[in-house]
Amino acid sequence: MSKIKSLFKSCSPCNASKDTFRKLITLRSAKSYRRCLKHLREIGINPFKTVPHSRIIGCHFRKGVSVQALTRSPLIALVEKDMKIRAHGLPQKKASARFSSVPLLTPATSPALVEWNIRRIQAPHAWETTRGKSIKVAVLDTGIASHPDLRIAGGVNTIDGGSYADDNGHGTHVAGIVAAVSKGGKVIGTAPEVNLYAVKALNKDGEGFVSDIIEGIYWCIDNKMDVINMSFGVLGSDSSATLHTAIKKAAKRGIVVVASAGNSGKSSGKIDEPASFSETIAVAASTKSNKIATFSSRGAGIGITAPGENILSTWLDGSYKKLSGTSMASPHVAGGAALLLAGKPGVTPLSVKKKLKNRAAKLNGFGALAQGSGLLQLDRIFESK
């Protein structure tokens, strides 16, 4: 029996249980990856996740068993915990309304009739040039539910391979902020003509694992997405090098990655992963009165701010709801990035980030650790300077 095969047999059971924990193993080469899978099959171990593009294998290990020997194998590049992820929406209030009667938008292009948050970022001015047609935007979240105001072009479920339909509501709300089409005359998104894709990697509780997020990122790379919105954060203080590697690859492939900063408030001192990765555009949340929301995380790395308090958007069962969180701020920027890409084809992710930051408006009374470059403004994004 080979050494690595023996190592797996000594510390990895066949099935998950309360006495096991999840680890992600990154192999150094495609050959090593195939070899490792072969060994696992031979000893009856079924990985909970395999991501061929990044040579990642997810396995359950017995609690109390050291995996240090695995990390010393020349075939293995990295072994790390499959960290938990949670959506960045704030807990919903019991009295939250469904908003079944909202004034019609007639016409939908009129700034006076568009929801305050879309007007605040000057999206209607950008619509004079483009509404995002042909740009592919992936919402990596709890999925997207069928809704009259959402045109879903496709998607994937990286949790179990099933439906990408939303069973939580968070992803549907985020999707509406990006791309609601105002067919029902109630809400219109930042970029209503983009091609919208659902990447369901979070469950009905708005939670998931890094491994499902990573698989979703590689799906986005394979399917040539232009923008990915990530309105979630890694739980705990540990950093995921495996997640960072996936985001680096997405950025290298020309994908703009937008992420919410987190909802830990004024005393947080830092923003959450993946927003803290330099390859993303990290987004803080502002209020209708142009203040940074009290819940919005503060820290180095925030790139820009967008509305995130009491945002009306699409919800389950064809309804509408107001929610708050940096989760709601991030899709404004994802939509803004899509508009910029549609109006200026070929712009790199780094250039998109710089352009959006350069056009942002500073909010009085707040420093860069709270607002980054300021409030997203889309009225001049197509100017050459």
Q: Are residues 286 and 363 in contact, defined by beta-carbon separation less than 8 angstroms?
A: yes
Annotated catalytic residue, options 88, 147, 170, 332 = 170
Residue closest to 25 by CA, chosen among 83, 69, 71: 71
First and final C-alpha spacing in the chain: 64
β-sheet bridge partners, residue 87: 232
In this structure, what are the phi and psi dihedrals at residue 258, rounded to the nearest 5 degrees?
Answer: -115, 135
Q: CB within 8 A of 305, min separation 6: which ones?
A: 283, 284, 285, 286, 292, 296, 329, 360, 363, 371, 372, 374, 375, 376
Known active-site residue 170: yes
Q: Letter for the amino acid at 26?
A: T
Q: CB within 8 A of 4, min separation 6: which ones?
A: 35, 36, 39, 70, 73, 75, 76
Q: Residue 253 corresponds to which tokens in the numbers above?
A: 């492939």
Sheet holding 76-81, edge to edge: 49-51, 56-62, 20-27, 76-81
Known active-site residue 141: yes
β-sheet bridge partners, residue 50: 57
Q: Residue 89 corresponds to which tokens in the numbers above?
A: 């929406």
Q: Is 297 left (phi over 0), alpha (psi -120 to 50) or beta?
A: beta
Known active-site residue 149: no
Q: How far apart are CA 172 and CA 181, in angstroms?
A: 13
Q: How many residues does the chain have?
A: 385
Measuring CA to CA, how many Å separate 206 from each of 124, 203, 252? 31, 5, 28
Annotated catalytic residue, options 327, 330, 332, 373 = 327
β-sheet bridge partners, residue 127: none
Annotated catalytic residue, options 39, 82, 141, 373 = 141
Catalytic residues: 141, 170, 327
